């Protein structure tokens, strides 16, 4: 009992004269009123981290929307690539097997919407295909229908947003990313490619890819990539991820590594083959099987990680906060003008 007494007494604050107490209170008042930037120290478990669980449960119940547009000439494997990305038949073929493919005279946009569910998370996926783009002899202004469609989705969202009685959740049909398929020529970008990306990069996130990269050797692929990067830099075309929107050093370091790899050299396949006792997605040739998900064969895993696993929410945020915001400001200025 005699040993515990000093410890119990030490827990109590020492006796201070009344005059010193007033001085200490006056000194401590400004510190408690204005806490430092480090934040407040918690003395026990409060449960703030449970907010993450609440957000996860709410997102799983409501689901989320993701809209992707694929642009490129016919025969570059756009539909196959989208099916490979989501491992399901989410994009329909332009022609049925056994029938002659009919190339449309103008650019026609085809939208297919599916609900994909994985481990309880639902995603409403909308794939917009652009058959007829770049297939004609005269491709003048062939990007106009695509620009018109993207702006129409912004206009639809804006009309819902400015209503007096708005919906609790506005349907989001805005295009979050546009994947542009570059033909594997091995030379420079065509004027059509440059003009399209120059116009579209101002209103939507553009991700260029080299289609059917298995038709190029590794040396040709590396040289073609360097030429495309030089073309984009010379014409001041800003593709996703844009340097201006990096928020912190970690994001900048990650995006710099991605920008070094763009455009991704991809190979799409929707058939499985047996390789070393495992079923893998790939393309079968005389010389072997090109594995789609093997980083040594192509850069499809990098494209999938960018679009789905690491930057999907960032694509939606930039679409809403940058591209849609600039359209909203322009439209409101036009309506409020003389």
pLDDT interval class at 1 (50, 70, 90)? very low
Q: Which of 75, 65, 78 is nearest to 207 (CA)?
A: 78
Residue pair 82/90 in contact by the 8 Å Cβ criterion:
yes
Rounded-to-integer distance, Cα 159 and Cα 179, Å: 27
40 secondary structure, DSSP code: P
Looking at the domain assignment, is residue 4 inside a domain? no
pLDDT tier, 119 (very low <50, low <70, confident <90, very high otherwise)? confident
Strand order in the sheet with 288-291: 272-275, 278-285, 288-291
Residue 278 gets the label, from left (phi > 0), alpha (psi -120 to 50) or beta, of beta
Q: Is the pLDDT of residue 203 over 90?
A: yes
pLDDT of residue 20: 52
The predicted pLDDT at position 61 comes to: 79
95 pLDDT band, cuts 50/70/90, is: very low
Three-state DSSP class for 295?
coil
Mean pLDDT in residue range 253-262: 90
Residue with tokens 């002899």: 137
Residue 15 lies in a domain: no
Query: How many domains is the chain partitioned into structurally?
Result: 1
The predicted structure's pLDDT at residue 6: 45
Per the domain annotation, does 311 fall within a domain? Answer: yes
Higher pLDDT, 334 or 338: 334
State the average pLDDT over residues 47-68.
85
- The domain that holds 204 is classified in CATH as 3.40.50.300
Paired with 209 in beta bridges are: 181, 264
Asked if the model's pLDDT at residue 204 lies above 90, the reply is yes
In this prediction, residue 183 has a pLDDT band, given cuts at 50, 70 and 90, of: very high
Mean pLDDT throughout 126-142? 84
pLDDT at 237 > cutoff 70? yes
In a domain, 334, yes or no: no
Residue 187 belongs to a domain: yes
* 3-state SS track over 80-96: HHHHHHHCCCCCCCCCC
- Averaged pLDDT of the chain: 82
16 is a domain residue: no
Domain contains 137:
no
Q: What is the residue-wise DSSP string for 150-186? A: HHHHHHHHHHHHTSSS--SS-------EEEEEEP--S
pTM, rounded to two decimals: 0.80
Three-state SS at 307: helix
Range of the domain at 234: 59-91+104-130+143-163+171-329
On the question of pLDDT at 273 being above 60, the answer is yes
Residue 30 lies in a domain: no
């Amino acid at each position: 009992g005699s040993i515990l007494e000093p410890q119990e007494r030490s827990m109590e604050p020492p006796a201070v004269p009344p005059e010193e107490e007033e001085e200490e209170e006056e000194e401590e008042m400004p510190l408690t009123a204005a806490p430092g930037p480090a934040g407040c120290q918690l003395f026990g478990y409060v449960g703030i981290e449970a907010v993450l669980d609440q957000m996860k449960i709410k997102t799983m119940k409501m689901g989320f929307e993701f809209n992707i547009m694929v642009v490129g000439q016919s025969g570059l494997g756009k539909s196959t690539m989208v099916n490979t990305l989501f491992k399901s038949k989410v994009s329909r073929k332009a022609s049925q097997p056994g029938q002659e493919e009919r190339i449309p005279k103008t650019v026609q946009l085809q939208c297919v919407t599916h609900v994909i569910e994985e481990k309880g998370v639902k995603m409403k996926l909308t794939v917009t295909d652009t058959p007829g783009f770049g297939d004609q002899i005269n491709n003048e202004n062939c990007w106009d229908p695509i620009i018109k469609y993207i702006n129409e989705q912004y206009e639809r969202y804006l009309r819902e947003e400015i209503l007096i009685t708005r919906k609790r959740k506005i349907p989001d049909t805005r295009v979050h990313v546009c994947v542009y398929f570059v033909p594997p020529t091995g030379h420079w970008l065509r004027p059509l490619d440059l003009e399209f990306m120059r116009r579209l990069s101002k209103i939507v996130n553009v991700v260029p890819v080299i289609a059917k990269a298995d038709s190029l050797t590794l040396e040709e692929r590396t040289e073609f990539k360097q030429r495309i990067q030089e073309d984009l830099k010379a014409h001041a075309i800003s593709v996703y991820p844009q340097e201006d929107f990096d928020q912190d050093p970690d994001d900048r370091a990650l995006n710099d590594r991605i920008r070094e790899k763009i455009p991704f050299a991809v190979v799409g396949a929707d058939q499985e083959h047996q390789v070393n006792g495992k079923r893998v997605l790939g393309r079968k040739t005389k010389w072997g099987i090109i594995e789609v998900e093997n980083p040594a064969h192509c850069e499809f895993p990098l494209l999938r990680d960018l679009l789905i696993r690491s930057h999907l929410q960032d694509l939606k945020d930039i679409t809403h906060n940058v591209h849609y915001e600039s359209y909203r400001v322009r439209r409101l200025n036009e309506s409020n003008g003389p």
